[in-house]
Structure 1
Amino acid sequence: MSIELIPTEFLIRADILAPGLIEGLYLQGSAALGDYRPGISDIDFVAVTDEPASLDLVREIHGGMPRRPHFDGLYVTWADLRADPSGLPPGPAVHEGRVSSSRFERNLVTWHVLAQAGVPMRGPERPEVFTDWPALAASTRENMESYWRPWARRVRLSPAGLSSWAVAWGVLGVSRLRHTLVTERVTSKTEGGRYALRSYPGWERIIEEALRIRCGGEPRYRSPFRRRADLLAYLEFALDPSAPPDAALLH
């Protein structure tokens, strides 16, 4: 299935049910960063309206959308995009088919991806979007501490650490953040993994396995227990702020 089919179907439904509501539609996430994987990735969107959209109307539009892949995203106004997302109130969002008022994806990562590489399906090719790299860098470091360290501790004590999903999520997720801090731009999971493969001698096997799970190829492990041990060791290394060669993490 072409990645454009679901956004196109969304626009058709929205235009029939609420003519003129959707003034802009942009793909972000893996679709914008060149890392969309059919069967693995969701399609992430930002829908832009002139005035805030009502939850009931958003539910009606998304009620008839396909369940797979997930068409996940948020509704904002043009003024919202020009503002610091940390100061915005919750608003309409869609996550795995469920519509709610939340802060889902209302963050600097989304705003930076839109400014950097958002794929326009409707509206100006490059809308005016608020960006703040120092704040994004700080939140990226905070995310490593507040999300990834606890996640690594949970995986150490859980059978989930034996799964292929945990290997790809953990290795590529952390590598992506480190690459973002070095390059000062939001990067994809695959790009982060390839950066780690070039940059971290001695960790090739577990990084290659994570990339293999996401991109395809031959398994690098026979034992899921050995693989989990290498996953945990890599996370301990990659979450250490002093680990070379990421000088940006020391700032």
Structure 2
Amino acid sequence: MSEQLPPAVADAVTQFLLEQRRLAPGLVSRAIVTGSAAAGDWHAGVSDIDVVFVVTRDPVDDLPALAGLHAASEPHIDGVYLTESEIARGPDIVQTAPQVVEGVLVSSLPGAQLSWVTWRELESGVQGVVDGGDVIWSPVSDRHPGTAQGVVAFSRDNLQDYWQRIGDGLEAELAGRAEHEPLRPETVRWVTLGPIRLVATIETGEVLSKTAAADHAAERWPEHAELLQRAVRDRTGDRQEFTVRDGREALALLRKCVSVAEE
């Protein structure tokens, strides 16, 4: 069901999988598109494409050829290479795997997509299987018994560890700077939209898109609704100008998100 994906995503992943099969015959049995592309929140020029590549063997010998394919992909086709047994074992046991982040393939990378968030997304992804010279698309619903509890626990831990440190770093970066001084939109967008998704997961058990999470956060914290709306608009390509004042508001929102994890 390629219609479940934006046409640009379906075309890019289809061509990628066909070339991937040529470079590494028999390696990938199925590819599951997750993230914004499967959630209806993908935006050309801003979003990458996240894919879980389900492999039939250890891909170590295939990685050199695949690295170049990922690096040349546009938009970037990122993701993780996992066997069916690794998916069944879950991210608490599978500590490293070949992963692609922003087009760079690392043969044994911890973290990144090796989290319960990815396993939750596997429950509602879109699966592609190469059949002859084409790719057959269909809904997929992989299940793991620990996902519901794991995704909430991961979200709490990630807010208290990773995002708490990001907040401390941003606070130091902004110290002493004038309120009206320009600030990189990518920084404000990242800090505004990243932590709120984890809060939404803690409170709903679902992995919401960034846009849906912004709506959730705006209802919870209406004092930040304008910043959230501007961050979403910037992400869709409607470029916004942000200042240090916006950065400090994003930091305040981040701190509120961390406090939810500590409750």
TM bucket normalised to smaller? 0.7 to 0.9
1:73–1:94 Cα contact (<8 Å) kept: yes
Pair 1:126-2:143 in alignment: no
CA distance in 2 between partners of 1:184 and 1:87 (Å):
21
TM-score (norm 2): 0.81
Distance 1:88 1:233, change over 3 A: closer
1:26–1:120 Cα contact (<8 Å) kept: yes
1:48–1:76 Cα contact (<8 Å) kept: yes
Pair 1:92-2:107 in alignment: no
Matches within 5 A, 1:1-251: 2-54=8-60, 56-65=61-70, 66-99=72-105, 100-103=107-110, 104-115=112-123, 117-122=124-129, 125-126=139-140, 128-130=142-144, 131-158=146-173, 162-217=183-238, 219=240, 224-241=243-260, 250=263
Q: Quote how far apart the aligned CAs of 1:48 are.
A: 0.9
Distance 1:34 1:17, change over 3 A: same
Q: Residue 79 of structure 2: SS of its match in structure 1?
A: strand
Q: Quote how far apart the aligned CAs of 1:241 are.
A: 2.5
**Could you give the per-residue CA deviations for residues 91-113 of structure 1, whole angstroms, max 9, x where no partner exists?**
22222332222234122111110
**Could you give the per-residue CA deviations for residues 170-218 of structure 1, whole angstroms, max 9, x where no partner exists?**
1111111111111111111111111112222222222222222213558
RMSD: 2.5
**Could you give the per-residue CA deviations for residues 221-246 of structure 1, whole angstroms, max 9, x where no partner exists?**
7x71322232222223332238xxxx
Letter in 2 for 1:231: A
2:167–2:251 Cα contact (<8 Å) kept: yes
1:44–1:72 Cα contact (<8 Å) kept: yes
- Identity, % of aligned pairs? 29
Relative to total residues, which structure has the larger strand share, 1 or 2? 2
Distance 1:107 1:235, change over 3 A: closer
The worse-fitting range, judged by mean Cα deviation, of 40-49 and 198-207 is 198-207
Which aligned runs of 4 or more in structure 1 are off by greater than 4 angstroms? 216-219
Letter in 2 for 1:26: I
Aligned to 2:3: none
Q: Residue 85 of structure 1: SS of its match in structure 2?
A: coil
2:159–2:195 Cα contact (<8 Å) kept: yes
CA distance in 2 between partners of 1:183 and 1:94 (Å):
29
1:82–1:128 Cα contact (<8 Å) kept: no
CA distance in 2 between partners of 1:208 and 1:92 (Å):
35
Q: Quote how far apart the aligned CAs of 1:119 are.
A: 1.1
Distance 1:78 1:127, change over 3 A: farther
Letter in 1 for 2:37: A
Distance 1:113 1:68, change over 3 A: same
Q: Residue 43 of structure 2: SS of its match in structure 1?
A: coil
Unmatched 5+ residue regions in structure 2? 1-6, 130-135
2:125–2:141 Cα contact (<8 Å) kept: no
Aligned to 2:133: none
Unmatched 5+ residue regions in structure 1? 243-248
Q: Residue 81 of structure 2: SS of its match in structure 1?
A: strand
